[in-house]
A and B are shown apart, each in its own frame.
Chain A
Amino acid sequence: MVNTTQKAEIDKIYKILETIPDPEIPVINVLELGIVRDVDFADGQYVITITPTYSGCPAMEMIEVNIKAGLQENGIDNFTVKTTLTPAWTTDWITDEAKVKLKEYGIAPPVEKTSDTSWILNEEKTVPCPQCDSTNTKLLSQFGSTACKALYKCNDCLEPFDYFKCH
């Protein structure tokens, strides 16, 4: 059981995590992206559990380093960062606030839930342009600037844009 002091410390850790951005998409933090799965106290230390977005995501090590540095700067040394694969990360965990921030940053947020399987039948979803909100957009490439994004083009404002693909 977590006692009151530990509970307060866990809350403090969450506050610190809110200030740690994703290295590739600096407008959203590691909590909003759903990378941090849990903060707990066990066997005499605080355990921060994180999960990778993609198996090969090169940002993971950076995120771990940033979490460690952020906690240490705030006087917390008694912790460990643990990586877990289950349950597997999904874009369903990206918070609604974060989706708004993504759009403002110029990245179209995921438009569907992962439980939606229409893509198996090659049905393309309409992804609205984050610049002008037009739905007259076109998929240019299924893989964008990072593993988690696809590349689209808006046929109205003619701007290309990244789409945070459903995963």
Chain B
Amino acid sequence: MKNKIAKYLIQLGDNCLILGQRLGELCGHGPALEIDIALTNISLDLLGQTRAYFQYAAEMSDDFDNEDQIAFLRKSSDYRNCHLTELPNTDFAHTIIRQFLFDQYHQLLLTDLMNSNDEKLKAIATKSIKEVNYHLRFSKDWVIRLGDGTETSKVKMQEALNTVWRYTEELLRPSELDIEMEGLGIGTNPDQLKEEYFEKVKSVLQFATLEIPENKFFGKGGKEGVHTEHFGYILSDLQYMQRTYPNQQW
């Protein structure tokens, strides 16, 4: 049972780890100084949250002794993050749309996890939500500002939305582990967040005068360890130091 909880914590942490790593790529490359700092601050929050999940997972796991092993020494197919988090930054429109679509999910998820009967998970969620509320405020603000902005910014935002939209449903698709953990009162079945998620997201997008794409097909597979072609590249960046200098410490 403890090992299963560890796997669940790793699934939760992987979204934060991979999105945090993606945002970290923008350090020194943001479109403006303030945005650069904001995105890397969000990255830092997400990596801090990842550490909390992985430290706890390492205590519970049969397979790992410490957080670094979990973060750096797994194979691609052992990562359980959703595809949305591994999408490339492309431009600021893609980066901020991706962030908004994730932040809204993240906020609903943590709000639910704050009721977990696992005290430590509850503590992580209660700590993280304060940070995530702020992330959402930032990304929502930019989606509205640029969606309802100039002709050019609107076109770019709409293109980004059309690209990223197909990765939203996976966030709310439950894995077997999600269902099992929900049954035990430990975790959340994201399917229960679906209605509220789309309602909230659509109201912001409408306010931003963007058109909601009508996709029939949505990507999936991240929670089963099947990733997009972007994933190998991000992983090789992420794991480079530990693979080259095993057990390296700061």
Give A residues with C-beta under 8 Å from B: 52, 54-58, 84-90, 119, 122, 140-147, 151, 165, 167
Q: How far is the CB of B43 from chain A (nearest CB, A)?
A: 8
Contact: A85 with B134, CB < 8 Å? no
Q: How far, in angstroms, from A142 to B37 measured CA to CA in the complex?
A: 10
Contact: A142 with B44, CB < 8 Å? no
Contact: B137 with A141, CB < 8 Å? no
B45 within 8 Å of A (CB atoms): yes
**Interface digits, B104-131 against A, CB 8 Å rule (1 contact, 0 not)?**
0000000000000001101110111011
B214 within 8 Å of A (CB atoms): no
Q: A86-B126, A88-B126, A167-B130 are in contact. Are A55 and B37 (CB under 8 A)?
A: no
Q: How far, in angstroms, from A58 to B141 measured CA to CA in the complex?
A: 27
Question: Quick one: which of B38, B46, B126, B127 contacts A142, CB cutoff 8 A?
Answer: B38
Q: How far is the CB of B111 from chain A (nearest CB, A)?
A: 13
Give the contacts of B218-241 with A (CB-CB under 8 A): none
With A54-B48, A55-B48 already in contact, 7 other A-B pairs whose C-beta atoms are closer than 8 Å: A52-B48, A54-B44, A56-B49, A56-B51, A85-B124, A142-B137, A143-B41
Contact: A147 with B137, CB < 8 Å? no
Contact: B49 with A143, CB < 8 Å? no
Question: Quick one: which of B35, B119, B131 contacts A55, CB cutoff 8 A?
Answer: B131
B195 within 8 Å of A (CB atoms): no
Contact: B34 with A55, CB < 8 Å? no
The majority secondary structure among interface residues of chain B is helix
Closest 8 CB pairs of A and B: A56-B48, A55-B48, A141-B34, A143-B38, A56-B44, A85-B123, A143-B41, A86-B123
Residue from A85, A119, A146 with most neighbouring chain B CB atoms (10 Å): A85
Give B residues with C-beta under 8 Å from A: 34-35, 37-38, 41-42, 44-49, 51-52, 119-120, 122-124, 126-128, 130-131, 134, 137-138, 141
Q: How far is the CB of A123 from chain B (nearest CB, A)?
A: 12
14 interchain pairs (CB within 8 A)? A52-B48, A54-B44, A55-B127, A56-B47, A56-B49, A57-B48, A58-B44, A86-B127, A87-B126, A88-B130, A122-B137, A142-B38, A143-B41, A146-B41
Residues of B within 8 A of A142 (CB): 38, 134, 137-138, 141
Q: How far is the CB of B155 from chain A (nearest CB, A)?
A: 25
Contact: B41 with A119, CB < 8 Å? no
Residues of A within 8 A of B51 (CB): 55-56
Residue from B34, B37, B49, B120 with most neighbouring chain A CB atoms (10 Å): B37
Residue of A nearest to B35 (CB): A141
Residues of A within 8 A of B38 (CB): 141-143
Residue of A nearest to B44 (CB): A56
Q: How far, in angstroms, from A85 to B123 measured CA to CA in the complex?
A: 6
Q: How far is the CB of B100 from chain A (nearest CB, A)?
A: 14
Q: How far, in angstroms, from A141 to B130 measured CA to CA in the complex?
A: 18
Residue of B nearest to A60 (CB): B48
